[in-house]
Amino acid sequence: MKFDTPATTNPIDQLKVIGKPTDRVEGPLKTTGTAPYAYERHDVAPDAAYGYVVGAGIAKGRIASMDLAAARAAPGVITIVTARNAGKLGKGNFNTAKLLAGPQVDHYHQAVALVVARSIEEARAAAQLVKVTYERTPGKFDLQAEKAGAKMPKPTAFAGPPQSKVGDFEGTFPTAPVQLDASYTTPDQSHAMMEPHATVAAWKGDKLTVWTSNQMVAWSVGDLAKTLGIPKANVRLVSPFIGGGFGGKLFLRADVLLASLGARAAKRPVKVALQRPVMINNTTHRPATIQRVRIGTTRDGKITAIAHEGWSGNLPDGSAETAVNQTRLLYAGANRLTTTRLAVLDLPEGNAMRAPGEAPGLMVLEIAMDEMAEKLGMDPVEFRIANDTQMDPEKPGRPFSQRKLVECLRTGADRFGWNKRNAKPAQVRDGRWLVGMGVAAAFRNNLLTKSAARVRLDNRGMVTVETDMTDIGTGSYTIIAQTAAETMGVPLAKVFVRLGDSAFPVSCGSGGQWGGNNSTSGVYAACMKLREAIAKKAGMPAADVEFADGMVRSGERSMPLAEVAGSDGLVGEDFIEYGDLDKKYQQSTFGAHFVEVAVDAATGEVRVRRMLAVCAAGRILNPKAARSQVIGAMTMGVGAALMEELAVDKRRGFFVNHDLASYEVPVHADIPHQDVIFLDETDPISSPMKAKGVGELGICGVGAAVANAIYNATGVRVRDYPITLDKLLAGLPAVA
Outline where DSSP puts E strands in 570-705. Answer: 570-576, 588-600, 606-616, 648-649, 654-655, 673-678
CA distances from 172 to 175, 191, 300, 327, 366 (A): 6, 40, 17, 18, 22
Clarify whether 696 is annotated catalytic. Answer: yes
**Three-state SS at 171:** helix
Active-site hit among 26, 195, 466, 696: 696
End-to-end CA distance of the chain, in Å?
68
Please state, in angstroms and rounded to a whole number, the distance separating the CA atoms of residues 514 and 695: 9
470 and 476 in contact (C-beta within 8 Å)?
yes
276 and 660 in contact (C-beta within 8 Å)?
yes
Please state, in angstroms and rounded to a whole number, the distance separating the CA atoms of residues 191 and 179: 36
φ, ψ (nearest 5 deg) of residue 11: -55, -30
Please state, in angstroms and rounded to a whole number, the distance separating the CA atoms of residues 377 and 379: 7
From the number of C-beta atoms within 10 Å of its C-beta (0-12, 13-18, 19+), residue 689 rates as buried
| Side chain identity at residue 723, one-letter code | I
CA distances from 389 to 249, 302, 477 (A): 36, 12, 37
3-state helix, strand, coil in the chain (%, to 5): 30, 25, 45
Nearest to 333, CA basis, from 392, 293, 387, 403: 387
Please state, in angstroms and rounded to a whole number, the distance separating the CA atoms of residues 484 and 492: 8
722-730 contacts, C-beta under 8 A, 24 or more apart? 722/187, 722/640, 722/641, 722/642, 722/643, 722/644, 722/645, 723/606, 723/641, 723/642, 724/642, 724/643, 725/603, 725/604, 725/605, 726/604, 728/599, 728/604, 728/606, 729/603, 729/604
696 and 358 in contact (C-beta within 8 Å)?
yes
Cα 54 versus chain centre, distance: 28
Please state, in angstroms and rounded to a whole number, the distance separating the CA atoms of residues 102 and 83: 5
Q: ∠ CA 176-179-183 to the nearest 5 degrees?
A: 140
Please state, in angstroms and rounded to a whole number, the distance separating the CA atoms of residues 249 and 246: 7
149-158 contacts, C-beta under 8 A, 24 or more apart? 149/343, 149/344, 150/311, 150/313, 150/341, 150/342, 150/343, 151/341, 151/342, 151/343, 152/339, 152/340, 152/341, 152/342, 153/319, 153/320, 153/340, 153/341, 153/342, 156/319, 158/322, 158/512
The number of C-alpha atoms within 13 Å of 685 and in the hemisphere containing its C-beta is: 18
Please state, in angstroms and rounded to a whole number, the distance separating the CA atoms of residues 201 and 235: 11
**What's 732's DSSP letter?**
S
Label the pairing between strands 433-445 and 588-600. antiparallel
Please state, in angstroms and rounded to a whole number, the distance separating the CA atoms of residues 87 and 81: 10
133 and 65 in contact (C-beta within 8 Å)?
yes
Please state, in angstroms and rounded to a whole number, the distance separating the CA atoms of residues 163 and 457: 51
Please state, in angstroms and rounded to a whole number, the distance separating the CA atoms of residues 595 and 383: 18
Name the region of 344 (left: φ>0; alpha: ψ -120 to 50; beta: rest): beta
Altogether, the residues listed in the chain come to a count of 736
Please state, in angstroms and rounded to a whole number, the distance separating the CA atoms of residues 553 and 79: 63
Label the pairing between strands 495-498 and 463-466. parallel
Nearest to 637, CA basis, from 682, 583, 704, 587: 704
Query: Looking at the annotation, which residues are catalytic?
Result: 696
